[in-house]
Amino acid sequence: MAAKLSSGGGGRYEESQNADINVTPFVDVMLVLLIIFMVAAPMAAVTVKVALPPAVAPPGTNPPKPVYISIQPGGNLFIQDFRTDLAMLGDDLRKQLGESRNPEKERIFIRADKDVLYGDFMGVMNMLQDNGFYSVALVGEDDS
């Protein structure tokens, strides 16, 4: 007397396909990683107690006000809100900065309209370098 274990027809050793994902190894790996991080996290913390001094800047040491050069599509130049031209850019920029600030260490921010010609922009960059302003940052608009 024999019993048939599968309802399908066919051969003597036929087995049906199993399309399920075996998640047991995945869960085992995740649990091991969880245990490792739970053990390692307290070891990464600093446990040495130190009385740190306060980090307060002395009064009157505010960071310098940033200087912006704006370039409009027609080639109009502005330092902050004051209009200038390419020939007077270096002198007007020194007047804007004052005597106490070093041009070589001063960062100049350039804001140029997207329709400004490349030649106009490079003229401003060359004039800044000719006058000793080497630290230049370009300002763009954030898309978000």
At residue 102, the pLDDT reads 73
**Whether 141 contacts 121, CB under 8 Å:** no
Neighbours of 52 (CB within 10 A): 5
Helix (H, G, I), strand (E, B) or coil at 85: coil
User: pLDDT digit string (tens) for 89-143?
Assistant: 988 998 888 876 777 778 899 999 989 999 999 999 999 999 888 889 998 887 7
Dig out the tokens for 102 from the structure: 């070093």
Dig out the tokens for 68 from the structure: 């912006």
Question: Distance between CA atoms of 117 and 120, rounded to whole angstroms?
Answer: 5
At residue 10, the pLDDT reads 58
87-110 b/e (C-beta count within 10 Å ≥ 16 → b): eebbebbbebbeeeeebeebebeb
Neighbours of 71 (CB within 10 A): 19
At residue 105, the pLDDT reads 76
Dig out the tokens for 84 from the structure: 């200038």
At residue 20, the pLDDT reads 80
50: pLDDT strictly greater than 90? no
| pTM for this prediction | 0.55
33-49 b/e (C-beta count within 10 Å ≥ 16 → b): eeeeeeeeeeeeeeeee
Please, what are the domains in the chain?
67-139 (3.30.420.270)
Report the pLDDT averaged over residues 63-78: 87
When mean pLDDT is compared across 33-37, 39-43, 65-69, the lowest value belongs to 39-43
